Structure 1
């Protein structure tokens, strides 16, 4: 990989102040005045124990890197650079859809070295920003990663992010799980780099540095399991497109497994686990030129909206209790539901406000 290639920044996400609650915890040290001088003999064993603990943790880090990094690859196309994770010994590699970004052929480099391999696209799923590519000639000894049950991931858990940030192959950063269950909307792909525009639920938030080129790599716990696929870094809306340090997001491993398994076995995603109305929509403005809803352009035949009586021209203004002013707000509202759930949809038709109970379909 030439050093001149510039890996694209993963899709930034703007977070409002309400989206992230931060609690400062200050621990005051307690000391006892007038401690007898004889107690100083305890300090050496305590310091030794502390040093031993630090060494043990360092050894855990190093072992995890040694065990997992061989499963993380660098993916290069004619216009992009990203990361991927070896999914099985047949040569399937999972990555982000925005790393694939329309390409069909790829060059793949293993962390363990060797010649660059070729790969082809199996399928991409932009709605979840995931894709699978397959090595044309998988080498012997290919090491698939182990994927964790991400429902068991907890805040405070130590994690390592592995990938190829800025083209620096096989790099590792360290942090913790800062939050779980985040719903994040990516920016749309454009000439400056970005993502699929997807709204992704249940994302893992981490303080481990996520930089351009990390997309599609591995967020790993100290049990040597992948808990997520690093996908994007946050931006601070108060400072334009500037990154918000220490706030990155990864698609949870359970979602990765569900989507990747379908792509590999069927060549497409048939059960996303995400709810959908079955409509094509566009944003509309009110008389003051302010966002005022999502207008239905068309309804899918036999889809949830059609079955509930919605039709082209209706303007959706509320889903459940969530106000709908833009296409993005509609997508984010639906992300809170599962296929088969019933929800009240409020809409306007010919100047009248109406409601319909909709049994949601699958995205």
Structure 2
């Protein structure tokens, strides 16, 4: 019999490692998480020896080679970067979870994922564990659910070690990388691999019921698992180039996905993450460019039924807004934005995350059966 067609991979947030109970004394016992690695029991100790230990994945010589040439000494990278990587515990009456963050300012600002700390917006507490085992309460500075980025802050007695910030625009496919974090609650863990692809727009569910987009995400085969969320993806110099945020999993016969790393992980490019983090630090929120329209997705099967093109149906246009000024009207069907097919709402989210007020967006649309093009200038939201 012919082999069955392989199941399509499903992108999902790298869940922070959920666990029942609360932080007890110096040690956190991580409970079993069904659907991730059932039956696995890990212990996150608050002592300096355990919390600061590194579990490095590398070749016998301590280097990670890439098909494109070049290599990383994972041991050297780990020694350089781990002091600036923290484990983030979110604790509530219902339980909590474990994620990761990187210290981006020596006065205590820490970059992480929104889905790691979103519960703090509803009263959960945050405790940060440093590589030396020290535990300090943290506060939520601000978050961007749409980009899955957040910032928390601790008040430390002295300046903290910070991660070097790289340039994600210079990352190349095939270059070696190292991921650092707390997979399954195991602090100070290090994995290594290469950049598998660039420019992935990865839609993932947001905690507010909307869709977050990892815009222009870096794909890597460095092992990323639940608990790595918010951690650093770094280059061979130890400079952060991404925020580890999501993994792809293969659904089973019932369509249910789960499990750990299958070698397909996604990181928010650090250039975008830092831009958003700076806004959060300065104002506590992110201001997104404004389109001035409401749209509804027309799936391909619906478009075929009504003999039209798939795209974004313009349901409403704000008078005097950017869409109105660009000539768009209710009932138009947007087929492309900046040359990219408008097949889902995520394309709008990507543009809002990667463009700023005053930037322009080229729009292809249908009015009836007639194709048109226009240029929309993004503005500030009213």
Question: What is the TM-score with the length of structure 1 in the denominator?
Answer: 0.72
Quick one: which of 191, 206, 231 aligns to 2:220?
206
For residues 138 and 353 of structure 1, do their structure 2 counterparts lie closer, same or farther at Cα, with a shift above 3 Å needed? farther
Matched, 1:117 2:136: yes
Query: 1:72 matched to which residue of 2?
Result: 85
Task: Provide the secondary structure at the position in 2 that maps to 1:154.
Answer: coil
Q: For residue 359 of structure 2, give the secondary structure of its aligned residue in structure 1.
A: coil
Aligned to 1:54: 61
Q: Tell me the residue number matched to 1:20.
A: none
Q: Can you list the C-alpha shifts for 1:72-116, whole angstroms capped at 9, x where unaligned? A: 1111223332111111112111111122224234121112202x3
1:321 Cα deviation (Å)?
5.1
What pairs with 1:288-303 in structure 2 (closer than 5 Å)?
288=305, 292-300=310-318, 302-303=320-321
Tell me if structure 2 keeps the 8 A contact 1:164–1:171.
yes
- How far apart are residue 171 of structure 1 and its match? 1.0
In the aligned structure 1, how far is the partner of 2:341 from the partner of 2:286?
Answer: 29
Contact persistence 2:202–2:217 (CA under 8 A): no
Partner of 2:185: 167
1:274-310, CA deviations, whole angstroms, 9 ceiling, x for partnerless residues?
A: x763323223444838994323344445432121232
Q: Which one of the candidate residues 128, 144, 148 is aligned to 1:108?
A: 128
Find the aligned partners of 2:118 and 2:190 in 1 and give their Cα distance: 24
Which one of 328, 335, 338 corresponds to residue 310 of structure 1?
Answer: 328
What is the SS of the residue equivalent to 1:268? coil
CA distance in 2, matches of 1:300, 1:353: 23
Confirm or deny: 8 A CA contact 1:98 1:195 kept in the other structure: no
> Residues 112 and 186 (structure 1 numbering): CA distance in 2 closer, same or farther, change over 3 Å?
farther
The 1:220/1:315 distance shift into structure 2, 3 A limit, reads same
Between 117-126 and 73-82, the greater mean CA deviation after superposition: 73-82
Cα distance in 2 between the residues matched to 1:224 and 1:7: 34
Aligned partners of 2:200 and 2:219 also within 8 Å: no
Contact kept in structure 1, 2:365 and 2:371, CA below 8 Å: yes
Match of 1:30 in 2: none
Contact 1:98 1:196 in 2 (8 A): no
Where does residue 4 of structure 1 map in the other structure?
31
Q: Could you say which residue in structure 1 is the equivalent of 2:22?
A: none
* Cα displacement (A) at 1:247: 1.4
In structure 1, the residue matched to 2:274 is 257
Deviations 1:194-235 (A, max 9, x none): 996222333222110011111100111221211111111123
On the 8 A contact 1:88/1:144 being kept in 2, the answer is: yes
> Cα–Cα, structure 1 residues 263 and 307, in superposed 2: closer, same or farther, change >3 Å?
same
Question: What TM-score results when the alignment is normalised by the length of structure 2?
Answer: 0.69
Separation (CA, whole Å) in 1 of partners of 2:251 and 2:72: 39
Bigger Rg over Cα: 1
Distance 1:157 1:122 in 2: 33
1:189-338 matches, cutoff 5 A: 189=206, 197-236=211-250, 240=255, 241=257, 245-270=262-287, 277-284=291-298, 285-286=302-303, 288=305, 292-300=310-318, 302-319=320-337, 322-328=340-346, 331=349
User: In the TM superposition, what whole-angstrom CA distance separates every residue of 1:30-77 from its partner, at most 9, and x where no partner exists?
Assistant: xxxxxxxxxxxxxxxxxxxxxxx9367799322221221111111122
Q: What runs of 5+ residues in structure 1 fail to find an aligned partner?
A: 10-52
